[in-house]
Amino acid sequence: MKFSRRSAMTMLATAGFLATAVAPSLAATLVTVKLWDKGANSTMATDLGLENPSPDMSKANMGMTITRKSAPAGVVTFRVTNDSKDMVHELVVVRYPAPGKTMPYGDSDMKVNEDAAGHMGEVSELEPGKGGSVSITMKPGHYLLVCNIPGHYKAGMWAEFTVK
- State the pLDDT confidence band at 52, using cuts at 50, 70 and 90: confident
pTM over 0.85: no
* Across 7-32, average pLDDT: 59
Given this model, what pLDDT does residue 40 score?
85
Q: What CA–CA distance (Å, rounded) separates 85 from 24?
A: 37
Topology (CATH level 3) of domain 26-163:
Immunoglobulin-like (2.60.40)
Q: What CA–CA distance (Å, rounded) separates 70 from 164?
A: 7
- Residue, of 155 and 22, whose pLDDT is higher: 155
